[in-house]
Every structure is written in C-alpha cells, then in structure tokens.
C-alpha cells in the first residue's frame, strides 16, 4: 500500500500565522504538525509516501524530511498548484499510486489511541473498496457524517447535515483500493470548484464497498485547523509527555518500532538533536524500544 499526505491549502483559518508558513509545518508541542500524519502511515506499515503541498511550501518539507532514507522511508513530493479538493490528491498522486492500494491522510489531522497500529493493520487487511475512520462528536452537524449498519458497512454519508443520522464524524484518514484513481477522475467539481472526498466515498457506498472503523472510546482525534484547536492539540501532547513520559508521533521511535531502522540509526538521529529534550528522548528509547506496534 502506498501513502499520501495532503499538506496543501492556504490555512486561511489560521491567519496571520500561516501567511508565510505552511500550516503543516507549525509546531504541535515539540514537533512539526506533519510528524503526526506521517507517523500514522508509518504505523500502518507504509514506507513509500507522497507529500503533496503548494509550490511555495514544498521546499520546506523537503528540507525537513528529505528523501526519508534516514527513517527507512521513501518520501517523494508533488505540487498542488491550487486547492482543488481532497480528492484531487488521487489525480496528483496517480503515478505514485500506480497499481497499489492507497492510504490518504490529511496533514492537519492527529490520531492517538491504544493499539492504533493493530487497528490500522486490521483495516488494511480487511480493505474491500474503502475504509473510513469515524469519531463520535457532540456536534456532528459541523462534519461529514457516516451512518453504518451492524456489519460496519456504511449506509449513508452526509456533509454537514442539518439533521444528522448519527454522531459519527468522518475523520481525515482514508484507505482505498486502486479503483480510487478512476473514481476520482469520474466525479465533477462541487459548486465551490473542488473535487470532494465525500463524492468519492459515496461511489463506494453505492457499491456497498465502504467500511467504517469507529475509533471509539480511548482514542483522540484532533483537527488542528483553527487557533483554538491548534492550542488544544499542543496542550494535549504536552500533557501526554508530562504525565505518561511518551512523545506521540516521534517518527524516529515509530521507525524503530516498525523495524524501518535499527537502534544504532535511531540513536544517531537523536544525537543530531541532542540539545533538545526531543533528541535526548530519541537517544534514550533507541536502546529500550522493542520492535512492535506502538500506541502512538
């Protein structure tokens, strides 16, 4: 399975702080925002990942992450000239996807919960069409909402409905079979001129090939697209570090746990950042972390 991180857009809800920097490069506590979606794809066992961003921001992502080789990854980059909708990622990334299935994650979404690696593993193994990840919210009218049956097959999808049929919001993490490229090519832009991911997902719903993973209690999903939500996410990550001693989405640790790199390589990566608490953490875990799926 290939991976795509969509890290484009103008970040207008975060103005003025995004006037000269990509939203996905802003810090969430101790690391750039893009580390969080990148760690999700890594936990799913995906090492071949395309990062899509704007012409002005792509160079900064390259400077931060390079070709991914130091993490045991293959990272490539592509430009989305203008915000043309989430589904446009499949057209921009069609060559990258090739004949494989694909996982798409939005660059401003954060996921954290126990056994998340196992959840992703099972979802990839069970993929038959598409798998969406749902999260129960008190205000579903603000989101795309999924209604599912007792087999976790999606019955309906509605975008910001006035009368939601459930309280399950569709998050910014999606798994698709290879048909998604042609599905994305077949849909038409919405009235706002974008290729909507909901329209792609509805095609799979009509084919009875759309599954739902309800992340449930114990999981946290954060969308960092506003000033308040960005601050909340930073506070949450700071609290996790202070209370539990873990650093969520430490990509060096995830790479080690997943077997993408060995302990020596992990230690060297930490050494380069040794003047920070983050770097010292990487050095410490390099000799103590077993190769297993992390709840990270």
pTM confidence score: 0.95
pLDDT exceeds 90 at position 288 = no
**Cα 88 from Cα 42, distance rounded (Å):** 23
**At 141, is the pLDDT very low, low, confident or very high (cuts 50, 70, 90)?**
very high
N-to-C CA span, the chain: 20
**At 293, is the pLDDT very low, low, confident or very high (cuts 50, 70, 90)?**
very low
**At 290, is the pLDDT very low, low, confident or very high (cuts 50, 70, 90)?**
low
**Cα 266 from Cα 70, distance rounded (Å):** 9
Query: Residue 294's pLDDT is what?
Result: 44
Helix pair 263-271, 277-285: axis angle to 10 deg = 160
pLDDT digits (tens, 9 = 90+) for 192-241: 899 999 999 999 999 999 999 999 888 999 989 899 999 999 999 999 99
Question: Are 13 and 225 a contacting pair, CB within 8 Å?
Answer: yes
Share of the chain above pLDDT 90, in %: 90
As a dihedral over the C-alpha atoms of residue 154, residue 159, residue 165, residue 167, rounded to 10 degrees, the angle is 90
- Quickly count: other Cβ atoms within 10 Å of residue 17's Cβ: 12
DSSP 79: E
């Amino acid at each position: 399975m290939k991976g795509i991180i969509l890290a484009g857009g103008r970040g207008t809800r975060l103005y003025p702080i995004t006037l000269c920097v990509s939203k996905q490069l802003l810090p969430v506590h101790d690391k750039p925002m893009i580390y969080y979606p990148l760690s999700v794809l890594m936990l799913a066992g995906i090492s071949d990942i395309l990062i899509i961003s704007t012409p002005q921001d792509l160079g900064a992502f390259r400077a931060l992450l390079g070709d991914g080789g130091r993490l045991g990854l293959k990272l490539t980059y592509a430009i989305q000239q203008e915000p043309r909708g989430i589904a446009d990622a499949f057209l921009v990334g069609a060559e990258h996807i090739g004949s494989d299935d694909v996982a798409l994650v939005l660059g401003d979404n954060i996921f954290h919960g126990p056994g998340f690696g196992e959840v992703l593993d099972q979802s990839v193994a069970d993929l038959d069409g598409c798998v969406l990840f749902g999260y129960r919210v008190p205000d579903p009218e603000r989101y795309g909402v999924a209604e599912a049956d007792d087999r976790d097959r999606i019955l309906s999808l509605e975008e910001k409905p006035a009368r939601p049929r459930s309280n399950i919001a569709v998050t910014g993490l999606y798994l698709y079979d290879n048909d998604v490229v042609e599905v994305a090519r077949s849909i038409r832009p919405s009235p706002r001129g974008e290729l909507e991911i909901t329209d792609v997902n509805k095609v799979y719903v009509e084919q009875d090939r759309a599954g739902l993973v309800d992340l449930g209690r114990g999981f946290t999903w954060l969308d960092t697209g506003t000033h308040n939500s960005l601050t909340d996410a930073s506070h949450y990550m700071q609290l996790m570090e202070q209370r539990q001693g873990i650093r969520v989405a430490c990509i060096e640790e995830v790479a080690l746990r997943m077997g993408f790199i060995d302990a020596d390589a992990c230690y060297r990566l930490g050494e380069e950042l040794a003047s920070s608490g983050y770097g010292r953490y990487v050095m410490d875990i390099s000799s103590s972390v077993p190769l297993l799926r992390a709840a990270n």
